[in-house]
């Protein structure tokens, strides 16, 4: 979002869906799944799963009559988020034209319009979105929907859908980040300060000269419960002013003084060095750079990569205007990571590739051989015998065998993945704290 609206006039409408999970239309979900290639017994089972569901209320030992639910996905079911997201995918993929984008996470939608006639685009996009929502059984709550006009101080006529005006706002939260009209993120930093204040009080109660927690425990509490709040919004805080960053630095300094019971005149550089913690400014630059290197890989992010490469080549003395791309480039330069973006190329599909229609059969078969019992209870010779039996059961011609594995040290959190092939071997170190599933998937991906 900030990439699209930084340093330009734009309108962002934060759309609130009324009772999103309760009003979803089962017919629309089934039609969407059929379009994705789901068919046969799986589609029939899904229809039975989301239609004609009944429920009743128990109160003081008495039960009400059963009531059939016409809409909604089953609350608490592991499939419900996916089924609901199939409808949201339709909304964010609407053909809207240049300068119009819809981004969403679950039922939190944001409509972004930029370029010429962006106000008219916002009006037309909202009308299109409202029509599609009605078709899918969803309903926009216009009483809670807000719009922010970025890059302009002139009052604009209100956006209107079906005769209902949408209120203009100067600040609004989206996915836990307070977006203000000037993109100063001052309200968001104030919210972080207020949220961490109570947690610092908890941290202070854990200290004590006789019976308190040691520094290792307090440092872990700070990293997991306090610094994580800032980490979550690090990409947005790239453009925050030095004054706002200094507010966040004070929170970390206060936490370190509480951990060691130090006076206020203790040098900050000494505390951060002894605690092996970077400054908040360096932390924001590191997280933002890592995220950018990850998101510019898809070919759909070519414009983002081009803006970063252009900002990296600009002279700071000549281009003094602070934009999101310029602030990100400064963070990349401070980490000496320019080569990661200058040499980076989008991962494009082969020119001759054509996506097969969803009703075609898959060109591969997946077969999973279950172990006779839990892996921990089997000896190494028995594991070898079962693996050999699985290999013999596979076709013997036109087959390549790759052995893949991923593991995580439960004590230190160190993770790694590897694959073994008769002609090549690969092993890869993963970031500490990676899950076992992530390590296993990396081994398979690298093997492929």
Q: Residues 396-436: pLDDT tens digits?
A: 777 888 889 999 998 888 999 999 998 999 999 998 888 89
Secondary structure of the chain in the HEC alphabet?
CHHHHCCCCEEEEEEEECCCCCCCCHHHHHHHHHHCCCCHHHHHHHHHHHCCEEECCEECCEECCCEEECCCCCCCCCCHHHHHHHHHHHHHCCCCCCCEEEEEECCEEEEEEECCCHHHHHHHHHHHHHHHHHHCCCCECCCCCEEEEECCCCCCCCEEECCEEEEECCEEEECCEEEECCCCCHHHHHHHHHHHHHHHHHHHHCCCCCCCCCHHHHHHHHHHHHHHHHHHCCCHHHHCCHHHHHHHHHHHHHHHHHHHCCCCCCCHHHHHHHHCCCCHHHHHHHHHHHHHHHHCCCHHHHHHHHHHHHHHHCCCCCCCCCCHHHHHHHHHHHCCCCHHHHCCCCCCCCCCCCCCCCCCCCCCCCCCCCCCCCHHHCCHHHHHHHHHHHHHHCCCCCCCCCEEEEEECCCCCCEEEEEEECCEEEEEEECCCCCHHHHHHHHHHHHC
213 close to 200: Cβ distance less than 8 angstroms: no
Q: In this predicted structure, what is the pLDDT of residue 255?
A: 93
Band of pLDDT at residue 78, cut at 50, 70 and 90 = confident
pLDDT at residue 392 in the model: 84
pLDDT score for 154? 72
What is the Rg, in whole angstroms, of the alpha carbon atoms belonging to the chain? 27
| Contact assessment for residue 272 and residue 256, using Cβ atoms and an 8 Å cutoff | yes
Q: Residues 254-280: what's their mean pLDDT?
A: 89
Alpha-carbon span 411 to 202, nearest angstrom: 27
The DSSP bridge partners found for residue 424 are 421
Task: Check whether 76 has a pLDDT greater than 70.
Answer: yes
Residue 126 to residue 134: CA distance in whole angstroms: 12
Look at residues 376, 424, 372, 373 and name the one whose alpha carbon lies nearest to residue 400: 424
| b/e code 162-201 from CB counts within 10 Å (16+ = b) | eeeebebbeebebbebbbbbebebbbbbebbbeebeebbe
Per the model's pLDDT, the better-predicted residue between 10 and 19 turns out to be 10
Mean pLDDT of 104-129: 90
d(CA 414, CA 290): 19
Tokens of 144: 């809670």
The pLDDT value given to residue 243: 93
441 vs 419: CA distance, rounded Å = 11
User: Can you tell me the distance from the alpha carbon of 250 to that of 239, in angstroms, rounded to the nearest whole number?
Assistant: 18
Q: Which tokens sit at 159? A: 């956006």
pLDDT band at 387 (very low <50, low <70, confident <90, very high): confident
The pLDDT value given to residue 22: 75
Q: How confident is the model at residue 107 (pLDDT cuts 50, 70, 90)?
A: confident
Residue 13 has what pLDDT? 93
Pairwise CA distance, residues 19 & 25, whole Å: 12
Secondary structure, 3-state, 95-154: CCCCCEEEEEECCEEEEEEECCCHHHHHHHHHHHHHHHHHHCCCCECCCCCEEEEECCCC
Residue 347 confidence (pLDDT): 67
Confidence bin at 444 (pLDDT 50/70/90):
very high
CB 220 within 8 A of CB 161: no
């Amino acid at each position: 979002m900030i990439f699209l609206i930084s340093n330009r006039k734009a309108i962002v409408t934060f759309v609130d869906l009324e009772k999103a999970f309760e009003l979803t239309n089962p017919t629309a979900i089934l039609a969407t799944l059929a379009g994705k290639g789901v068919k046969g017994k799986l589609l029939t089972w899904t229809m039975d799963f989301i239609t004609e569901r009944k429920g009743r209320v128990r109160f003081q030992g008495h039960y009400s009559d059963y009531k059939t639910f016409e809409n909604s996905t089953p609350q608490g079911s592991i499939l419900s988020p996916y089924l609901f997201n199939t409808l949201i995918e339709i909304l964010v993929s609407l053909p809207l034209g240049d300068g119009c984008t819809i981004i969403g996470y679950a039922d939190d939608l944001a409509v972004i319009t930029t370029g010429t006639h962006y106000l008219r685009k916002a009006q037309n996009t909202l009308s299109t979105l409202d029509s599609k929502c009605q078709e899918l059984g969803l309903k926009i709550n216009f009483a809670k929907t807000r719009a922010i006009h970025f890059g302009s101080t002139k009052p604009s006529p209100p956006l209107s859908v079906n005769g209902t005006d949408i209120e203009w706002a100067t600040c609004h939260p989206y996915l836990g980040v307070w977006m203000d009209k000037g993109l100063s993120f001052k309200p968001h930093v104030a919210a972080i300060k207020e949220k961490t204040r109570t947690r610092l009080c908890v941290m202070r109660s854990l200290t004590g000269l006789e019976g308190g927690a040691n520094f290792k425990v307090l440092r872990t509490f700070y990293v997991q419960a306090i610094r994580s709040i800032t980490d979550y919004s690090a990409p947005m805080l790239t453009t925050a002013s030095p004054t706002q960053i200094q507010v966040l630095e004070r929170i970390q300094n206060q936490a370190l003084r509480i951990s060691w019971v130090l006076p206020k005149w203790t040098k900050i550089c000494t505390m951060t060095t002894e605690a092996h913690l970077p400054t908040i400014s360096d932390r924001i630059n590191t997280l933002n750079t890592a995220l950018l290197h990850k998101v510019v890989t898809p070919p759909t992010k070519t414009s983002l990569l081009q803006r970063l490469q252009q900002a990296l080549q600009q002279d700071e003395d000549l281009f003094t205007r602070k934009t999101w791309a310029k602030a990100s480039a400064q963070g990349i330069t401070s980490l000496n990571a320019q080569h990661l973006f200058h040499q980076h190329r989008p991962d494009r599909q082969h020119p001759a590739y054509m996506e097969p229609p969803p009703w075609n059969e898959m060109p591969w078969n997946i077969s999973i051989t279950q172990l006779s019992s839990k892996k921990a209870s089997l000896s190494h010779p028995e594991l070898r015998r079962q693996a050999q039996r699985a290999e013999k059961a596979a076709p013997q011609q036109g087959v390549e065998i790759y052995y893949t594995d991923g593991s995580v040290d439960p004590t230190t959190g160190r993770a790694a993945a590897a694959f073994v092939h008769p002609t090549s071997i690969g092993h890869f170190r993963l970031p500490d704290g990676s899950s076992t599933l992530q390590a296993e998937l990396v081994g398979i991906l690298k093997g492929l």
